[in-house]
């Protein structure tokens, strides 16, 4: 299970960014040069390696699939930073030449960004060699160490002095991405393939490494050996212990803090300038600049405050002025659910995210893009049009069409590189007859009698492998009673699973490779007894990805899922209706008292039933439950807001699914009120509903 609690990995990013500020402000310099040396030249040297290790860890967890995305993100961040510091460079008379731009960074703290741009492809290449790659990165680190803290010794050796002089014609220091960052990227990556470390062991190793590094640094500085001091012999040991400690106590994510840390790192030199200019203007130079500790204390909160301001500006996801009703999608919840499902399934079982029906009303494109960033590489849709829409949105991974595809559309399957389902033998032959090579998964009917070739017809299944133009890359089936709680439901699902496993074994016995095998959908994961002891290559979670169940029935293996979707609408108008008067179509509602009616800008064209009031439907207004009354119109509905302490006003927000204050309307509850299951309720939410994305 996901460990809940303190998001240590993200929080320490901010601490590392503050340590970088300390390097550039020398907080203890006026009080104790030795203490400042330890703070800025020993302790703070963990900051940049930590940035690299956490990147390597998450890249490796996703099998390095996000390397290109991180490289592009870093390039954009670096380009923006270059422009941000261009005025200071021009003021100082520092030209931005190719050497600074490509190798050293255009300002003193920006070296990390071009270094990371260089280190990422190197680390990705070395990662293919597993342990050999880490050893090679270690050799690069030792070479860089000779040009850094040990230059006074190594640089005097025959031949090496000329080598380092050649290096220094490109880079000012060997802390760059060729020598320093690859080893820390790969050290972080090494944790992705290991069990969660023990916190006590990590703490002991951190203290041991930091103590050894302290002795090393003081000896080196005392003998004036270093040319620079970004690299120490004991720094990798310290980082191994520190990262293991943080990983052991980590629980969850804090993306806001993560972004704040990045902005503090980028912005703090400008904040140093602002503090200095402000101190001179207000006559506080001695207090805020000459006093090194107060200088540091002034720069840090200013950097953090500026980072929060920028985040508040860039993270605003305001609805368009005419938004009447909308779906609110929490992508952090989607990420957490994805991680939870991964931990629930065997390591050998991949996630095939089902994003059909516009990702069950959640927005297929933002959902698929988010899942890609989390390392999901298999997607499933219902029809050809849904697959093409994902391709046009830039989703390049494997996409399986679960429904029937017209054989005449085979050229489109090939053009968009989509995988079709073979619905039955005749369908397979018709696809093959189009003369176009297409990828397919064979659907096997294990008792649902929907799509699929009967499981017992092994010869028919085998014949489909031999058809020209069909590239069979997978075989799957579907459990039709896994969501049932009765014993006969569970028994039937178990028979389906066993039948499917037997069919796969028969195909393999004929020398046929079934490719990717998959059986479990959401309830096959929540009720795993039906597949105990049976292993398949992937699972197809749909509804549970979005943090909801089909209904309120109990399951064998409940998961602490977070709902991704909330449904909200504006109050369009408020009316006072005297007792005895009717309202709405057919005057179906009659006020038994003087009534405050709120008109919501949402109706049955948006997916809610016309008789929602008669079924007992409620909405949340001002954090309280208010009954829906009368007949739901195509575009509006009426809500009795009489019992609220204060009458609602036009333009305020009502919640139909989700949380308002202390009250929550769960999708399962709303679906039960509507007389259906959550799957249907969410997937029929109308396309005219707006989509507000949180935590992109």
- As annotated, the active-site residues are 356, 585
Measured between alpha carbons, how far is 411 from 416 in angstroms, rounded to an integer?
Answer: 9
The half-sphere exposure of 677 on its side-chain side, counting CA atoms within 13 A, is 10
**CA 199 to each of CA 185, 202, 245: distance values in angstroms, whole numbers, following the listed order:** 21, 5, 5
**b vs e for 47-81, b when ≥16 Cβ sit within 10 Å of the residue's Cβ?**
bbbbbbbbbbbbbbbbebbbbeebbeebeeebeeb
What is the b/e burial string over 527-536, where b = at least 16 CB atoms within 10 angstroms of the residue's CB? Answer: bbebbeebeb
SS3 534: coil
Q: Among residues 55, 41, 23, 44, which one has the least CA distance to residue 119?
A: 55
What tokens does 500 get?
């499917």
Judged by DSSP in three states, 74 sits in helix
In degrees, rounded to 5, the angle at the alpha carbon of residue 620 between the alpha carbons of residues 616 and 625 is 55
| Residues across the chain | 696
Q: Rg for the chain (alpha carbons), in Å?
A: 31
Task: Check residue 587 and report its DSSP letter.
Answer: G
358 phi and psi angles, rounded to 5 deg: 55, 45
135 Cβ neighbours under 8 A, 6+ residues apart: none
Residue with tokens 């959640």: 362
Of the candidates 594, 570, 565, 585, the one whose C-alpha atom is nearest the C-alpha of residue 682 is: 565
Tell me the CA distances in angstroms from 625 to 36, 312, 642, 660, 668, one per residue in order: 59, 31, 11, 10, 16
CB 564 within 8 A of CB 329: yes
**Pick from 134, 249, 234: nearest CA to 201:** 249
DSSP state of 232: -
Which one, of 452, 460, 461, lies nearest residue 504 by Cα?
461
């Amino acid at each position: 299970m996901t460990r809940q609690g303190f998001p240590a990995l993200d929080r320490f990013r901010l601490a590392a960014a503050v340590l970088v500020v300390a390097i550039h402000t020398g907080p203890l310099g006026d009080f104790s040069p030795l203490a400042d040396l330890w703070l800025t030249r020993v302790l703070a040297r963990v900051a940049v390696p930590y940035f690299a290790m956490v990147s390597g860890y998450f890249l490796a967890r996703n099998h390095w699939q996000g390397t290109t995305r991180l490289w592009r993100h870093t390039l954009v961040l670096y380009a923006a930073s270059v422009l941000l510091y261009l005025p200071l460079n021009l003021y100082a008379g520092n030209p931005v030449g190719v050497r600074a731009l490509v190798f050293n960074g255009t300002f003193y703290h920006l070296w990390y960004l071009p270094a990371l741009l260089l280190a990422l492809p190197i680390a990705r290449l070395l990662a293919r060699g597993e342990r050999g790659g880490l050893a090679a990165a270690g050799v690069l680190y030792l070479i860089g160490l000779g040009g850094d803290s040990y230059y006074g010794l190594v640089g005097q050796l025959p031949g090496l002095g000329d080598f380092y002089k050649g290096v220094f014609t490109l880079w000012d220091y060997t802390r760059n991405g060729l020598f320093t960052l690859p080893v820390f990227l790969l050290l972080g990556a090494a944790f992705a393939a290991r069990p969660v470390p023990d916190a006590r062991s990590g703490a002991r190793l951190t203290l041991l490494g930091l103590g050894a590094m302290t002795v090393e640094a003081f000896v080196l500085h005392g003998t004036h050996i270093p040319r620079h001091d970004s690299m120490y012999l004991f720094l990798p040991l310290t980082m191994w212990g520190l990262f293991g400690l943080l990983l052991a106590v980590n629980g969850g994510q804090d993306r806001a803090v993560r972004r704040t840390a990045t902005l503090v790192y980028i912005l703090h030199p400008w904040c140093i300038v602002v503090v200095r200019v402000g101190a001179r203007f207000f006559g506080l130079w001695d207090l805020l600049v000459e006093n090194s500790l107060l200088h540091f204390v002034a720069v840090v909160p200013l950097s953090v405050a500026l980072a929060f301001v920028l985040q508040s500006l860039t993270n605003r996801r305001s609805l368009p002025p005419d938004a009447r009703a909308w779906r609110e999608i929490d992508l952090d919840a989607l990420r957490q659910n994805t991680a939870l499902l991964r931990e629930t399934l065997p390591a050998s079982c991949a996630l095939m995210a089902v994003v059909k029906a516009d990702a069950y009303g959640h927005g297929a494109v933002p959902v698929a893009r988010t899942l890609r960033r989390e390392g999901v590489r298999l997607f499933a849709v219902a029809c050809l049009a849904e697959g093409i829409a994902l391709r046009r949105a830039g989703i390049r991974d494997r996409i399986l069409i679960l429904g029937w595809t017209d054989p005449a559309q085979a050229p489109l399957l090939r053009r968009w590189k989509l995988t079709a389902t073979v619905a039955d033998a005749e369908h397979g032959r018709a696809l093959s007859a189009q003369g176009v090579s297409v990828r397919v998964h064979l659907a096997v009917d294990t008792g649902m009698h929907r799509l699929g070739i009967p499981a017992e017809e092994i010869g028919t299944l085998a014949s489909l492998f031999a058809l020209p133009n069909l590239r069979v890359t997978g075989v799957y089936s579907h459990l039709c009673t896994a969501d049932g709680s009765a014993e006969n439901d569970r028994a039937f699902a178990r028979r389906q699973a066993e039948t499917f496993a037997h069919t796969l074994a028969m195909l393999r016995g004929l020398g046929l490779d079934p490719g990717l095998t998959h059986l479990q959908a959401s309830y096959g994961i929540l009720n795993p007894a039906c597949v105990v002891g049976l292993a398949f290559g992937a699972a197809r979670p749909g509804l549970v990805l979005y943090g909801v169940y089909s209904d309120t029935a109990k399951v064998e293996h409940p998961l602490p899922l977070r709902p991704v979707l909330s449904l909200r609408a504006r109050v369009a108008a408020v009316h006072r209706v005297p007792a005895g008067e009717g309202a709405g179509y057919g005057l179906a509602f009659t006020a038994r008292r003087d009534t405050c009616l709120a008109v919501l800008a949402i109706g049955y064209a948006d997916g809610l039933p016309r008789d929602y009031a008669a079924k007992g439907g409620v909405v949340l207004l001002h954090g309280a439950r208010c009954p829906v009354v009368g007949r739901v119109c195509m575009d509006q509905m009426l809500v009795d807001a009489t019992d609220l302490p204060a009458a609602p006003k036009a333009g305020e927000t009502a919640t139909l699914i989700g949380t308002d204050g202390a009250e929550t309307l769960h999708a399962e509850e709303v679906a039960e009120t509507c007389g259906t299951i959550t799957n249907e309720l969410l997937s029929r939410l109308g396309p005219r509903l707006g989509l507000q994305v949180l935590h992109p």
